[in-house]
A and B are shown apart, each in its own frame.
Chain A
Amino acid sequence: MYGSASTHDLPTSAATGLENEDPILLAEFEARIGRGEKIEPGDWMPALYRKQLTRMIEQHAHSEIIGSLPEGTWITRAPGFRRKMAQMAKVQDEVGHAQLLYSAAETLGKTREQMLIDLINGKSKYSNVFNYPTPTWADSNVISWLIDAGAIVNQLANAKGSYGPYCRALDRICAEEAFHLKYGHDAVVHMATGTPIQRKMMQEALNRWWPAIMTFFGPSDKMSVHTEILMRWKVKMASNDECRNQFLDMYVPKIWEIGLTLPDANLRKNEETGVWEFTEPDWEDFKRVINGDGPCNAERIAVRRAAEENGAWVRRALLTPKTQYVRPLA
């Protein structure tokens, strides 16, 4: 589950390092991407491309394991066999996605171990929505439906990108996310059309999550800068606002259809332009949370850190003197 939040803070054009790249190789690289070819791990690529992709795939992988935590806490409390088993399977998928994505990122040269160390140290980020709490079962349902829905919008776009291993991982991930979407939708519909207690829980959870959902795709295009080269290299496939608009177009009618309301009086589709209008999210708050000061940042990292520390003896035991690091091939 991953949006494109704040992953592309590129250096200014003067500091991209492109002037140090071989112009012939660079032209050939760009021509290949222009022809729609995929770049594979052994192929030549500019250092900036490698760096940006590593960072993006790594952040995506982190988002999957951190994202498994807020829903994971509801596995032990899921009501009834059907929900309990489905919630387990769903969360397990997310961890599986992390495994796939770490492997894809490793093809670019960074080890999984190092990525996890950077996650714990706060050096690398994950999707900001997971810094918000899930105080009820209904919050977990909102994530399963709408955050996964947002992730699909973003990931279907990125699956058409230029880096082969990432695209292949995304194809597999999207297939599973499509099931999550059905699961989440089913759970939300049961609550939204259920008893008064269930309906109230669901509406309150949606109200709590809506501001975070609106920031899921990252800052407004007016605010994000320097993404032109990443679009040309097919690292970034759609702008934040395009993804957000597509999401609103697909899901707001479905939310309204089941009798839920959204806490934004200005939310409406402009039928002439086809563009959704809404109250501008609080981007200052978004920045504050992404930089570590959100309600759950410390807790999420603490859980991850505990897992790493408690499991260190197992990883040490798996290493033998002959063990060598092998980078995945593709």
Chain B
Amino acid sequence: MDPKLDLLYRLADDQLILGHRNSEWNGLGPILEEDIAFSSMAQDKLGHSLQLYTLLHQLGETEPDTVAFTRNADQFHCCQLVELPIGEYDFSLTRHFLFDHAELLRFEALAGSSYEPLAQVARKLRGELKYHALHANTWMKRLGTATDEAIERMQRSLDFTLPYALGIFEKTDAEAEIISSGLFVGEDELRGRWLESISKVLSQTALQVPDVLSLTPVFGGREGQHTEFLQPLLDEMAEVFRLDPTADW
């Protein structure tokens, strides 16, 4: 695949699917303020994915609604981390923390991309992602230093989620060209920055951080291999859209 398309699909699909998952917290948050916060982040992520699908459209791909609402799971390039069900709050918060640190650093790097339309979008999105990371940090520090019960839950979630989080940095065949053309600094570089960034926050909690780089990453998502959870999510997302694909809803 063309390196630009390869990169954009990964970015857009991650944002769309996690935005969708975050929106499932409506009515279920541990406090109302968290229902509202997850909804805000979901709206941002949907908006981010729309901007990225719009860039793809400008490069000749199908228009955003069709791309987002009619592909099957094996045509998606998101990492498996984002497609997992919301679970309990500890998991959703941990995923949000691990993903949004990577995302903030990714878009900070993309602000200097040689592909100017993407650099422009990145300069806008990084401002919003900063708040997502701040929100995650606040809660990680609060719950990661609170009751034994909270610390134990957060530890379990962290241990479970880290291998999936490493899947964010799965490389594709286009990686060398993406780096050499100055599109993006590359997944290895990003993973290094990410590890430093999450470690700084986690060191302020009672949570134990394993040797992250010795964990086996959960790969496959970037190549269209997904968990059993993605297709049902997509079926639900497209349920109304597919009733009448000719309709203007």
Chain A interface (Cβ within 8 Å of chain B)? 65, 68-69, 72, 74-81, 83-85, 88-89, 91-92, 95-96, 98-99, 102, 137, 187, 190-191, 194-195, 197-198, 201, 303-304, 306-307, 310-318
Contact = CB atoms under 8 A, between A and B. Distances in A.
Given A198-B247, A311-B89, A88 B150 contact: no
A300 to B, nearest CB: 9
A23 B137 CA distance: 56
B69 A88 contact: no
**B27, B30, B33, B43: residue with the most chain A Cβ atoms closer than 10 Å:** B27
Given A310-B88, A314-B143, A190 B23 contact: no
Given A88-B46, A95-B39, A316 B149 contact: yes
A316 B151 CA distance: 12
B193 to A, nearest CB: 30
B173 interface: no
B235 to A, nearest CB: 10
Given A76-B20, A88-B46, A92-B43, A99 B89 contact: no
A310 B20 CA distance: 21
Contact of B32 (A69, A98, A190): A98
Interface in B101-125: none
Contact of B26 (A79, A85, A95, A314): A95
B46 A84 contact: yes
Contact of B153 (A69, A72, A313, A318): A313
Nearest to A75: B23
A314 B39 contact: no
A110 to B, nearest CB: 16
B59 interface: no
23 contacts: A65-B32, A72-B27, A85-B43, A85-B46, A85-B50, A88-B39, A92-B43, A95-B36, A95-B39, A96-B36, A102-B32, A187-B249, A194-B244, A195-B244, A195-B247, A197-B247, A198-B244, A201-B243, A310-B88, A311-B28, A316-B149, A317-B150, A318-B146
A79 B43 contact: no
Contacts of B2: none
Contacts of B23: 75-76, 88
Is the contact region of chain A dominated by helix, strand, or loop, or is it mixed?
A: helix
**A137, A306, A307, A317: residue with the most chain B Cβ atoms closer than 10 Å:** A317
A307 B243 contact: no
A310 B246 contact: no
Q: Which 3 A-B pairs have the closest CB atoms?
A: A311-B30, A314-B30, A317-B146
Given A80-B65, A95-B35, A198-B247, A317 B42 contact: no
Contact of B31 (A68, A69, A314): A314
Contacts of B50: 81, 85
A137 B249 CA distance: 10
B26 A91 contact: yes
A161 B32 CA distance: 27
Nearest to B42: A88
B247 A81 contact: no
Contact of A315 (B31, B68, B243, B244): B31
B32 A76 contact: no
Contacts of B150: 313-314, 316-317
Interface string B206-249: 00000000000000000000000000010011011101101111
B29 interface: yes
Contacts of A194: 244, 247-249
A282 B149 CA distance: 50
Contacts of A317: 142-143, 146-147, 149-150
A78 B27 contact: no
Contacts of A85: 43, 46-47, 50
Given A137-B249, A316-B149, 15 more contacts: A65-B27, A74-B240, A75-B26, A76-B237, A81-B64, A83-B249, A92-B36, A95-B27, A95-B35, A190-B249, A198-B244, A306-B28, A311-B29, A316-B147, A317-B150
